[in-house]
């Protein structure tokens, strides 16, 4: 029977184990989950930003040009309104126009600025915020957007910053020094826009086209043809004015790098205290007893099978007990018989006495 006692005690010890994690474990798990969610959200926002940049429609302010291309643009704008070439000069100008277009495209590719993003874990939120403001004055970058957020376990800020390409690496190094831990960092180049049309080539080809239309208008004597030529000249002038506006926008909008800076400080909430041994034992005992009772209720469906099994086990045990009892009695009888036989064999033989007459 002692084996049944051991089995029962072991079962009760297992049932008394806590079925739920402690409050400290729950706190640490929630904190880790919050940080992981923050990092994942930042990563998704940067991926969406890169995707949106690649899908944006080309705009004059997106062009990045070298000093040589800037000079070409200024010369092209200065030439607008001046006398245009003759037909022979126009034929000789076409290869030059193509060459200028290739130069502008090459300089655009070579001068693409870098964009970046960083997620920083900082020691003190307010100090970091003040340092970023100081850096904005030192390196003359613009904070065009900022979003402050406060969660259960952190306080943070996400800033969108415009930086001149020349200061990009320096500012990146300054931001790196603000962090206790750099959670994420990503740097990428601005992608070349599709359907890129060099402004210089557009201005010169439009000027040449206008010159050709003007010569045709001077030679034309048919009124209907003159009206058609005037409509074409009007459309070409609109195209030329649009190219001039784009060129002026390029000259007035210098290239810039976009940087997304996100930093946050961990907030230490009131941690639950570790329970003492007596309190923990009492709590575990209550939880374990509740679990044991629930187990008994859940096992109600199998109780008939358990009872039948116990009956069979009792019958088997009784049969085994009776068999052992009969075997023991038989052995005792055999032993008793052997003992009697031995006693008879060792009895002394009485001598025969004769009487004398």
| 240 Cβ contact partners less than 8 Å away, ≥ 6 residues apart | 80, 203, 206, 207, 210
The mean per-residue pLDDT over the stretch 113-135 comes to 92
Q: How far is CA 51 from the centre of its chain?
A: 16
Average the pLDDT over each of 33-47, 107-121, 207-221 and give the range with the smallest value. 107-121
What is the C-alpha separation between 140 and 327, in angstroms, rounded?
Answer: 106
Which tokens sit at 207?
A: 């000027």
- Give the per-residue pLDDT at 244: 79
- 147 versus 4: the higher-pLDDT residue is 147
- 209 versus 83: the higher-pLDDT residue is 209
Tens-digit pLDDT profile for residues 27-80 = 778 878 887 888 888 888 888 877 776 655 444 444 555 555 556 666 766 665
Q: Map tokens 């007596």 to a residue.
A: 278
- Give the per-residue pLDDT at 60: 46
- Give the per-residue pLDDT at 104: 39
The mean per-residue pLDDT over the stretch 222-248 comes to 84
- Give the per-residue pLDDT at 99: 34
Tens-digit pLDDT profile for residues 291-342 = 777 777 777 777 788 888 889 888 988 888 888 888 888 888 887 777 777 7
What is the C-alpha separation between 85 and 346, in angstroms, rounded?
Answer: 157
Q: Are 169 and 186 in contact (CB under 8 A)?
A: no
- Give the per-residue pLDDT at 157: 92
Nearest CA among 269, 266, 268 for reference residue 38 = 266
The radius of gyration of the chain from alpha carbons, rounded to an integer in Å, stands at 49
Which tokens sit at 1?
A: 């029977």
pLDDT surpasses 70 at 94: no
| 44 Cβ contact partners less than 8 Å away, ≥ 6 residues apart | none
The mean per-residue pLDDT over the stretch 225-250 comes to 83
């Amino acid at each position: 029977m002692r084996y049944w006692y051991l089995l029962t005690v072991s079962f009760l010890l297992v049932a008394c184990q806590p079925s739920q994690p402690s409050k400290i474990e729950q706190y640490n798990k929630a904190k880790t989950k919050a940080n992981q969610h923050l990092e994942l959200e930042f990563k998704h926002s940067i991926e969406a930003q890169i995707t949106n940049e690649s899908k944006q429609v080309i705009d004059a302010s997106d062009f990045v040009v070298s000093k040589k291309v800037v000079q070409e643009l200024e010369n092209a704008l200065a030439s607008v309104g001046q006398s245009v070439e003759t037909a022979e000069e126009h034929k000789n100008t076409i290869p030059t126009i193509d060459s200028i277009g290739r130069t502008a495209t090459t300089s655009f590719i070579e001068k693409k600025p870098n964009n970046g993003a960083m997620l920083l874990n900082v020691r003190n939120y307010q100090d970091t915020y003040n340092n970023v403001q100081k850096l904005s004055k030192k390196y003359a970058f613009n904070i065009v957007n900022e979003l402050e957020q406060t969660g259960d376990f952190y306080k943070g800020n996400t800033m969108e910053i415009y930086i001149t390409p020349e200061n990009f690496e320096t500012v990146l190094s300054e931001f790196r020094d603000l962090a206790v831990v750099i959670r994420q960092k990503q740097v990428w180049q601005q992608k070349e826009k599709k359907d890129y049309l060099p402004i210089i080539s557009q201005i010169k080809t439009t000027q040449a086209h206008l010159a050709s239309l003007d010569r045709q208008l001077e030679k034309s004597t048919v009124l209907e043809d003159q009206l058609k030529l005037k409509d074409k000249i009007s459309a070409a002038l609109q195209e030329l004015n649009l190219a001039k506006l784009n060129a002026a926008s390029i000259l007035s909008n210098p290239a810039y790098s976009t940087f997304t800076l996100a930093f946050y400080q961990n907030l230490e909430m009131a941690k639950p205290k570790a329970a003492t041994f007596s309190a923990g034992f009492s709590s575990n005992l209550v939880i374990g007893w509740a679990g044991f009772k629930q187990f008994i209720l859940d096992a109600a469906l199998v109780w008939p099978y358990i009872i039948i099994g116990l009956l069979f086990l009792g019958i088997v045990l009784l049969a085994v007990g009776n068999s052992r009892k009969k075997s023991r009695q038989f052995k005792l009888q055999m032993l008793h018989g052997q003992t009697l036989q031995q006693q008879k064999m060792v009895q002394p033989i009485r001598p025969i006495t004769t009487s004398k007459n």
